[in-house]
Chain A
Amino acid sequence: MMEFLIVAFAATLIYLSAAHRFRVFARFMGAQGVLIFGIALLELNEMATANLVLVVAETLLFKGIIVPFMLFYIIRRTQVFKVHAQATPSFYILILNAAALIVSVVIAYTLQNPYINTVFMTVALYALLSGLIIIVTHKLIISHLIGFLIIENAVFLFTIALGNEMPALINIAMLLDIFVGVLIMGFFGMRLKPDTGDLTQLKD
Chain B
Amino acid sequence: MTAVLFPGIIVRAKSIFAGRKGPGLFQPLKDVMLLFQKGNVISTTTSYIFKIAPAIGLASVLSATLVLPFGPFPALISFNGDIVFFAYMLGIGKFFLIIAALDTGSAFEGMGANREALYSLLAEPAFFILAGTLAMLTGYSSFNEILIGLYNPDNSYILIYSIISVIVLAQIMQVENSRMPVDDPKTHLELTMIHEVMILDYSGFDKALIHITSWLKFALYSTLIFDVLIPVQWDKGIQFGLFAIIAVSLAVYIGFIESFKVRNKIGRNPVFLFTISVLALLAFVVVLVLTEKMILS
Which chain A residues have a beta carbon within 8 Å of chain B's beta carbons? Answer: 3-4, 7, 10-11, 14-15, 17-18, 20, 90-91, 94-95, 97-98, 101-102, 105-106, 108-110, 118-119, 122
A-B contact pairs, 19 of them (CB 8 A): A3-B157, A3-B160, A7-B160, A7-B164, A11-B164, A14-B278, A14-B279, A14-B282, A18-B271, A20-B268, A94-B274, A98-B274, A98-B278, A101-B278, A102-B281, A102-B285, A105-B289, A108-B289, A109-B294
B residues in contact with A3, CB < 8 Å:
157, 160, 286, 290
Specify the chain B residue showing the minimal Cβ separation from A122: B289
A residues in contact with B278, CB < 8 Å:
14, 17, 94, 97-98, 101
B residues in contact with A101, CB < 8 Å:
278, 281-282, 285
Interface string of B244-288 (1 = CB under 8 A from A): 000000000000000000000000101110110111011001101
Which chain B residues have a beta carbon within 8 Å of chain A's beta carbons? Answer: 157, 159-160, 164, 268, 270-272, 274-275, 277-279, 281-282, 285-286, 288-290, 294, 296
Instruction: Determine the distance from Cα of A94 to Cα of B282 in the docked complex, in whole angstroms.
Output: 13
Chain B binding surface SS class: helix
A residues in contact with B289, CB < 8 Å:
105, 108, 118-119, 122
Instruction: Determine the distance from Cα of A105 to Cα of B294 in the docked complex, in whole angstroms.
Output: 9
- 6 pairs of A and B residues whose beta carbons are closest in the complex: A90-B271, A18-B275, A94-B274, A98-B278, A14-B278, A109-B296
B residues in contact with A122, CB < 8 Å:
285, 289
- Closest Cβ–Cβ distance, residue A132 to chain B (whole Å): 17
- Closest Cβ–Cβ distance, residue A67 to chain B (whole Å): 24
Q: Which of B157, B288, B289, B294 has the most CB of A within 10 A?
A: B289
Instruction: Determine the distance from Cα of A170 to Cα of B289 in the docked complex, in whole angstroms.
Output: 28
A residues in contact with B285, CB < 8 Å:
101-102, 105, 122
- Closest Cβ–Cβ distance, residue B283 to chain A (whole Å): 8
B residues in contact with A14, CB < 8 Å:
275, 278-279, 282
B residues in contact with A10, CB < 8 Å:
282, 286
Q: Which of A4, A11, A110 has the most CB of B within 10 A?
A: A11
- Contact yes or no, B290 A119, CB < 8 A: yes
Instruction: Determine the distance from Cα of A87 to Cα of B286 in the docked complex, in whole angstroms.
Output: 31
A residues in contact with B159, CB < 8 Å:
4
- Contact yes or no, A7 B286, CB < 8 A: yes
B residues in contact with A17, CB < 8 Å:
278
Q: A20-B268, A106-B296, A109-B294 are in contact. List 7 more A-B contacts (CB 8 A).
A: A3-B290, A7-B164, A7-B286, A15-B275, A102-B281, A105-B294, A110-B296
A residues in contact with B290, CB < 8 Å:
3, 119
